[in-house]
Structure 1
Amino acid sequence: MEHQVDTLVIGAGPAGLAVAACLKKRGASCIIVDRAAEVGSSWRHHYDRLHLHSDRDRSTLPYLSFPAGTPRYPSREQVIEYLERYARHFELVPHFNEEVRTVRPHDSGWITTTPASVYHSRRVVVATGYNAVPYLPRWRGQERFDGPMLHSSEYRNGESFRGQSVLVVGFGNSGGEIAIDLHEHGARVAIAVRGPVNVVPREIFGIPILAISIVLSRLPARLADALAAPLVRLSIGDIARLGFRKLPMGPFTQIKTTRRIPLLDIGTVKLIREGHIEVFGDIREMGETQVTFDDGRSRDFDAVVAATGFHPRSDYFLAPQGDILDVEQARQPGSGEKKSGLHYCGFIVSATGMLREIGIEAQRVADEITRIEHHSGETR
């Protein structure tokens, strides 16, 4: 089946829905396609315990708030319900079960193919996000390990690990919360941390860290780090005493230079301090049950959960087109993409919250598209 549309939006997660709603508000038409069967598919596959690490009031998409009575940090289920409500509110009906195979420039627009359809559009918005393809590294001897080894995308809850010794690999927000969940389900938990880290509290004196970050983000990164450092030390303490190596840069500089978010602590540090979670360095080698770390220590584990992150997948369907686009690293919309009709939403890593940034970016993308349409209409 062939479709003609002004703008094709790839992805029915928060970014794709937000762009489509913003376009609709501006009187522009679009079609959303998604490989899954429902909106917000990545949220549906996260672990049960997951809550937003950014607060509700600063995590809404454009033009629609969370329902009254939603807690400050919504649960996974509440985020899914919000995304469903958002799609209903704006009457967004994505074309589901359509995995994009190719996106190629053609004449004055783009041709996008799925197994079921061919879409001819003047513009394409890639809104597939970072959490598209689980990243699972390889460790020496990994094939010898006898127990279950799963990526965080496969983890649901700690019930099946009750009474077992479990190693969580990775100290990002997923790793930190999964470690808590395992402990709460009666597992013996350790965390393998590959390199130096930053840890910040989710709240300082009852104020969401995101609210503070929004204010400080207006400053140069180093100055923002210097101002935040005393508050972080007061709330978190000296993480070196807990077995971590601290990054030589603060969290704002970390995000700016490495595009990685520091751990937003929701209780992991307390459990480490109380001795409920043991901290190790990087994995050197694995045996049938034994894991040896880079400092020479070894421990036996029944299972491993790899909270090692994800890769975006736009390079799966976007063939390199010279100067038009760069699929090795998704970028925020710039002059090249405006000219070519290719836009991204949901790929910017920000200290001020992913969903908040998606909302800002979606409005910017919609403004760019409608400005171009208006200009094209005047010149035809």
Structure 2
Amino acid sequence: MEKILVLIIGAGPAGLATSGCLNRLNIPNIVVEREDCSASLWKRRSYDCLKLHLAKQFCHLPHMPFPPNTPTFVSKAGFINYLDEYATRFNINPRYNRNVKSAYFKDGRWTVEVENTASSEREVYSAKYLVVATGENGQGVIPEIPGLVESFKGEYLHSSKYKNGEKFAGKDVLVVGSGNSGMEIAYDLSKWDAKVSIVVRSPVHVLTKGIVRIGMWLLRYFPVKLVDRWCLLLAELRFGSTSRYGLVRPKTGPFMNKIITGRSPTIDVGCVGEIKSGKIQVVPSIKRIEGKRVEFVDGNTKIVDSIVFATGYKSSVSKWLQVDDGDLFNENGMPKRKFPEHWKGKNGLYSVGFGRQGLAGITRDAQDIAKDIDSLFCRRCMNKL
């Protein structure tokens, strides 16, 4: 058993940010990561054309802004380089190939059992503080659809497995999901001359990067409802009425909707133009699948060769946090309390990256956690004097 003050589970942006903040305060910590690299979601499970959806000033990690010459909207490769440089600057050295099997609180400490998948050895850590940094995107979700598994004759995959549309050229492809991933993948497929349809199951706000950037700046000075009104006016001027194309807007504005539901507005990269031109077809929810025939809830059918599910992720925390003695997570592996009270539980248990606030939220969580552990750590040291 290896004793450590702070154990951080996960070496994505959330884990790196927390370790970086702790290292600046000289607080001992270890980061364990199940994959063989840091930021595996970005390096291994994201499509080639991905860019940060928000301007760079809203996306940097603590204590390290992007260099001045960085493009306003950072590319996938640029962000990966930034994360690697962040780990180097703050001397973060995750232990890779560590798959957490269980974590429980006993006798004042957290016991975490880990499988070293590279050596097949079992490791046990004993930590005073446990930081869960696996985030909301632990495992890709593919919804249960009648006929998908047992009868579909084509290829289906989660968006985390999609790289680009090269192999789909000339094929009929159905994209399920109208969030950022779904819209961007549909647009990318159309550029590779695939015949694309996109399932839009619920109302969605579609804005441009510029409108979102303006909105986030205005939120510093004006109420969210007023900012929503202005942003919707700009969106109307940019896109016209989108409901006629199957893109119905929610009743609440984009930023208020984010606060209430946690769902961010979809940032258009050109997909709306393809929809308006008829190159991408909008369809409703899927009812059932038989062979390559997909039936939709409106009774229409379509023959497709492939399906890409841009249907989000779910937390994997409940698989290994056997008993939540920290009173922080619910049965779905998400914090019981909403932002901004989501990051701290009991018995030294913390979460980072679960507040549905993007990279800016990760930065706030990491700084709050490091500050809290520092105050508790200093208090313990004083008590020993």
Same fold (TM over 0.5): yes
Q: Offset of 1:17 from its aligned partner? A: 0.4
Match of 1:368 in 2: 372
Q: Which residue of 2 aligns with 1:308?
A: 311
Per the alignment, residue 8 of structure 2 pairs with 9
Cα distance between partner residues in 1 of 2:350 and 2:144: 34
- Match of residue 254, structure 2, among 251, 254, 272: 251
Q: Distance in 2 between matches of 1:199 and 1:191?
A: 14
Compared with structure 1, are the counterparts of its residues 376 and 339 closer, same or farther at alpha carbon in structure 2 (3 Å cutoff)?
farther
> Deviation per CA, 1:185-227, whole angstroms, max 9, x where unpaired?
11111101112222122113xxxx2452254267654444234
- Establish whether residue 27 from structure 1 lines up as the match of residue 31 from structure 2: no
Instruction: Tell me whether 1:124 sits opposite 2:130 in the alignment.
Output: yes
Partner of 1:188: 195
- Relative to 1, partners in 2 of residues 1:25 and 1:214: Cα closer, same or farther, differing over 3 Å? farther
Shift of 1:338: 5.1
Is the contact made by 1:338 and 1:368 (CA closer than 8 Å) also made in structure 2?
A: no
Looking at structure 2, the residues matched to 214 and 127 of structure 1 have their Cα atoms a distance apart, in angstroms, of: 28
Q: Read off the aligned partner of 1:275 and give its amino acid letter.
A: G
User: Aligned in 2, Cα 1:277/1:75: closer, same or farther, shift over 3 Å?
Assistant: same
Name the CA shift for 1:252/1:125 in 2 (closer, same or farther; >3 Å).
Answer: same
Matches within 5 A, 1:163-242: 163-204=170-211, 209-210=212-213, 212-216=215-219, 221-242=224-245
Task: Classify 1:58/1:9 alpha carbon distance in 2 versus 1 (closer, same or farther; 3 Å).
Answer: same
Q: TM-score w.r.t. structure 2 length?
A: 0.91
Which deviations, in whole Å up to 9, do the C-alpha atoms of 1:22-71 show, x marking residues without a partner? 11112211110000111101111211111111122321111223345432
What do the CA deviations read for 1:160-206 (whole angstroms, capped 9, x no partner)? Answer: 000111100000100010011101111111101112222122113xx
Q: In the TM superposition, what are the counterparts of 1:106-121 in structure 2 within 5 Å? A: 106-115=106-115, 116-121=122-127
SS at match of 1:234: helix
Match of 1:97 in 2: 97
Structure 2 counterpart of 1:358, one-letter code: I
Q: Structure 2 unaligned runs (5+)? A: 116-121
Q: AA paired with 2:360?
A: R
Instruction: Note the residue ranges of structure 1 that are not aligned, 5 or more in a row.
Output: none
Amino acid aligned to 1:122? K
Asked if 1:349 corresponds to 2:348, the answer is no
Go from structure 1 to structure 2 and tell me whether the alpha carbon gap of 1:108 and 1:220 turns closer, same or farther (over 3 Å shift): farther
**Alignment coverage as a number of residue pairs:** 372
3-state SS, counterpart of residue 100 of structure 2: coil
Note closer, same or farther for the CA distance 1:218–1:69 as it changes in structure 2 (3 Å cut).
Answer: closer
- The residue type equivalent to 1:132 in the other structure is G
Deviates more, 1:117-126 or 1:50-59: 50-59
1:148 pairs with 2:155:
yes
Letter in 2 for 1:76: K
Q: Secondary structure at the match of 2:98?
A: coil
Q: State the Cα deviation string for residues 146-172 of structure 1 (Å, max 9, x = none).
A: 110111111111000001111000001
- Could you tell which deviates more after superposition, 95-104 or 247-256? 247-256
More displaced, 294-303 or 69-78? 69-78
Residue type of the partner of 2:240?
G
Contact 2:215 2:228 in 1 (8 A): no
Name the Cα RMSD after superposition: 2.0
**Deviation at residue 278 of structure 1 after TM alignment:** 0.4
Cα gap change, 1:219 to 1:327, in 2 (>3 Å): farther
Report 1:31-110 matches (<5 A).
31-44=30-43, 45-67=45-67, 69-110=69-110
Residue type at the aligned position of 2:6:
T
